[in-house]
């Protein structure tokens, strides 16, 4: 349930309500808004809260939350969450484009890519330093060396960096090098990893698993939020269906559905969704039209020579053309890229 404090409630009244609820053995998660403070209440028996707190000073309303994802729900947080980092706002009027190679291969490769992303109007540099691969014999990434190359590219271009984590023991390392920690589809339900990221407070991009329902994704986000980290970007990256032509099936209905169910920003990964480079542009345009707050696109200076996912990576010329098309789509729905 949530306890809604009145607009006139003082900080002392809010603190008194928090203490009283915690006396009942329940957990509290205050959300301090511009106009009102909302207190999330977690625990098994909340009847005492209803019985005791209804007339408490400063309490305006007590609302039960029926959805299993309490803090990711729009019921708890009606306003859209906007995540700000290094001058980039994710979840606002602008559609944020994150772009870069599937895997960091060399300092020259990632730096040249970062320059192109910046020149084309992209906002965030993506690149994999640690790569979870289906085959143990495939390229696994450069590790910490790759993280250093990403940081060097950020230093020159000013672009924030998003990169994927696979090991909860490396949280501190990723917080040092990355502006956004990406949780890949395979790790969406790695609850130890989600909990550690939640405790870190670091911005996170959480990808939907290939066989996961929308509710599963929101519950995964809940693992992070319950630890106090609300800096979460959800990502639709395609789901497994009976279709075999594309790598996955891009579920654009999820964008609209999540926008209705949750306050968290939603981005789309068209590259992993389709797995075919010449389908990335139309799916990117469709994602923007569907209301996505951003895109995460794989690009490479020479896709044919890429060590990872070259078949779905755009070359520089195609990416630049894509950005021009995205601006037109965004303008048509009152947004910008």
Query: Domain ranges in the chain?
Result: 2-63, 83-332
pLDDT at 125 over 80: yes
Angle of helix 191-200 relative to helix 214-225, nearest 10 degrees, comes to: 50
Predicted pLDDT at 300: 98
Q: Indicate the pLDDT class of residue 135, thresholds 50, 70 and 90.
A: confident
Query: Tokens at residue 321, please?
Result: 């053309």
Predicted pLDDT at 272: 96
Give me the mean pLDDT over the 293-303 stretch: 98
The CATH superfamily holding the domain 2-63 is: Phospho-2-dehydro-3-deoxyheptonate aldolase; domain 1 (3.30.70.1140)
Q: Indicate the pLDDT class of residue 166, thresholds 50, 70 and 90.
A: very high
Query: Tokens at residue 336, please?
Result: 């910008």
Predicted pLDDT at 29: 84
Closest CA to 313 of 323, 326, 301: 301
pLDDT in tens, 218-235: 999 999 998 989 999 999
Residues in a beta bridge with 336: 94
Predicted pLDDT at 63: 84
Query: Tokens at residue 55, please?
Result: 């007339």
Element spanning 124, H or E: strand 124-126
Question: pLDDT exceeding 70 applies to what percent of the chain?
Answer: 100
Predicted pLDDT at 234: 98
Q: Indicate the pLDDT class of residue 242, thresholds 50, 70 and 90.
A: very high
pLDDT at 35 over 80: no
Give me the mean pLDDT over the 57-76 stretch: 88
Q: What is the pTM of this model?
A: 0.90
Predicted pLDDT at 51: 81
Predicted pLDDT at 33: 72
pLDDT at 45 over 90: no
Predicted pLDDT at 42: 82
Query: Tokens at residue 262, please?
Result: 């949750």
CB 111 within 8 A of CB 104: no
Backbone torsions φ then ψ of 310, nearest 5 degrees: -65, -30
Give me the mean pLDDT over the 302-329 stretch: 97
Predicted pLDDT at 103: 96
Give me the mean pLDDT over the 229-249 stretch: 97
Whole-number average pLDDT of the chain: 94
Give me the mean pLDDT over the 227-256 stretch: 96
Residue with tokens 């309500």: 17
Q: How many CB atoms lie within 10 A of CB 52?
A: 14
Q: How many CB atoms lie within 10 A of CB 108?
A: 10
pLDDT in tens, 170-191: 999 999 999 999 999 999 999 9
CATH node for 83-332: 3.20.20.70
Lowest mean pLDDT among 30-34, 72-76, 100-104: 30-34
């Amino acid at each position: 349930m949530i306890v809604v404090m009145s607009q006139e409630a003082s900080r002392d009244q809010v603190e008194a309500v928090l203490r009283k609820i915690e006396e009942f053995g329940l957990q509290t998660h205050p959300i301090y808004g511009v106009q009102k403070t909302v207190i999330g209440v977690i625990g098994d028996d909340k009847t005492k809260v209803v019985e005791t707190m209804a007339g408490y000073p400063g309490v305006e309303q007590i609302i039960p939350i029926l959805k299993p994802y309490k803090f990711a729900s729009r019921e708890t947080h009606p306003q859209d969450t906007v995540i700000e980092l290094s001058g980039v706002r994710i979840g606002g009027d602008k559609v944020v484009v994150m772009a870069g190679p599937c895997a960091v291969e060399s300092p020259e490769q990632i730096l040249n890519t970062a320059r192109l992303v910046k020149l084309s109007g992209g906002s965030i540099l993506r690149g994999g330093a640690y790569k979870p691969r289906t085959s143990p014999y495939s390229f696994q990434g450069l590790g910490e060396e790759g993280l250093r190359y990403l940081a060097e590219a950020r230093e020159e271009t000013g672009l924030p960096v998003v990169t994927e984590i696979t090991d909860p023991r490396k949280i501190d390392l990723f917080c040092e090098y990355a502006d956004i920690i990406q949780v890949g589809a395979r790790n969406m339900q790695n609850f130890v990893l989600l909990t550690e990221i939640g405790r870190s407070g670091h911005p996170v991009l959480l990808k939907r698993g290939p066989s996961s329902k929308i509710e599963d994704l929101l519950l995964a986000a809940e693992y992070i939020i319950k630890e106090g980290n609300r800096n979460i970007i959800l990502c639709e990256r395609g789901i497994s269906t009976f279709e075999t032509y594309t790598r996955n099936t891009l579920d654009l209905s999820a964008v609209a559905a999540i926008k209705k169910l949750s306050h968290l920003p939603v981005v789309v990964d068209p590259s992993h969704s389709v797995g075919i480079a010449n389908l990335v542009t139309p799916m990117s345009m469709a994602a923007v039209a569907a209301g996505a707050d951003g895109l995460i696109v794989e690009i490479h200076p020479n896709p044919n020579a890429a060590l990872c996912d070259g078949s779905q990576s755009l070359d520089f010329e195609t990416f630049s053309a894509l950005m021009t098309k995205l601006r037109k789509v965004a303008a048509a729905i009152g947004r910008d890229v």
